């Protein structure tokens, strides 16, 4: 199928914006980070452009998740789903990265510790610094699909809930001896701004912070 260059560039830019640009391992970036789409122009078949775009998006999101999953020392992948964000897509992306790059929260995830305070603190520090006038009265947070914060209050229901949240994290863990990730599960985090929010929905991926990550990067050149 022949895809005009302009269409291929448009589709690739959209895919990158919603996949590779929506992940963070540790907040650092390499000067060689690149995404390239190569077309051979050797197949002459009818093309449904929407189907092609959907396929590109599916592949892009899958590859982006694999980058996080195969990160140095990664034992959990966090998936932060932000809904009804009252700002721009760029600001929503920054919020998601602020969450997955929080050292305290990353360590909590690594230890299967459902520390809801650290999650709320990561969100609060971003909103307080960069969007202090935002109405957060309808905000709700979920962890593993379970509501943990709603309308300004934590929803804490005792030890059984704590154990269930910790088990959710354990189920998403790879294990120390893993050579290649044995599954594609996530630590699921939801941030919903509610009826007073906006129209931006975005998903951000990130990794935990493990002892192996520190060892790998501490000995990188030695």
Q: Is the pLDDT of residue 43 over 60?
A: yes
- The closest of 119, 114, 206 to 167, measured between CA atoms, is 114
How far is it, in rounded angstroms, from Cα 15 to Cα 23? 13
Q: Is the pLDDT of residue 180 over 80?
A: no
Between 116-130 and 103-110, two packed helices, what is the crossing angle to 10 degrees?
A: 160
Give pLDDT, residue 179.
62
Give pLDDT, residue 204.
98
Give pLDDT, residue 194.
95
Stretch 132-142: mean pLDDT, rounded? Answer: 96
Strands 23-24 and 200-207: what pairing?
Answer: parallel
Please report, in angstroms and rounded to a whole number, the separation of the first and last CA atoms in the chain: 49
Give pLDDT, residue 108.
97
Stretch 57-69: mean pLDDT, rounded? Answer: 94
Query: Per the confidence metrics, is the pTM higher than 0.95?
Result: no
Could you write out the DSSP letters of every residue in 109-131? HHTT---HHHHHHHHHHHHHHH-
Q: Is the pLDDT of residue 14 over 90?
A: yes
Tokens representing 47? 């093309």
Give pLDDT, residue 54.
96
């Amino acid at each position: 199928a022949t895809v005009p260059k302009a269409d291929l560039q448009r589709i690739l830019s959209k895919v990158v914006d919603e996949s590779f640009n929506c992940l963070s391992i540790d907040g650092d970036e390499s000067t060689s980070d690149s995404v390239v789409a190569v077309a051979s122009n050797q197949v002459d078949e009818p093309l449904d452009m929407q189907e092609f775009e959907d396929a590109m998006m599916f592949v892009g999101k899958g590859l982006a998740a694999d980058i996080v999953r195969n990160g140095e020392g990664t034992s959990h992948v966090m998936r932060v789903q932000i809904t009804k964000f009252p700002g721009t897509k760029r600001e929503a992306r920054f919020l998601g990265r602020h969450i997955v790059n929080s050292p305290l929260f990353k360590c909590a995830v690594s230890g299967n510790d459902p520390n809801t305070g650290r999650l709320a603190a990561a969100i609060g520090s971003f909103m307080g610094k960069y969007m202090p006038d935002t109405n957060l009265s309808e905000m709700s947070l979920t962890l593993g699909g379970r509501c943990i914060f709603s309308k300004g209050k934590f929803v804490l229901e005792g030890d059984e809930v704590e154990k269930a949240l910790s088990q959710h994290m354990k189920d998403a863990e790879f294990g120390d001896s893993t050579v290649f990730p044995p599954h594609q599960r996530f630590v699921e985090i939801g941030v919903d701004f509610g009826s007073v929010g906006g129209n931006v929905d975005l998903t951000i991926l990130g990794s935990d912070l493990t002892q192996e990550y520190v060892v790998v990067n501490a000995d990188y050149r030695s």
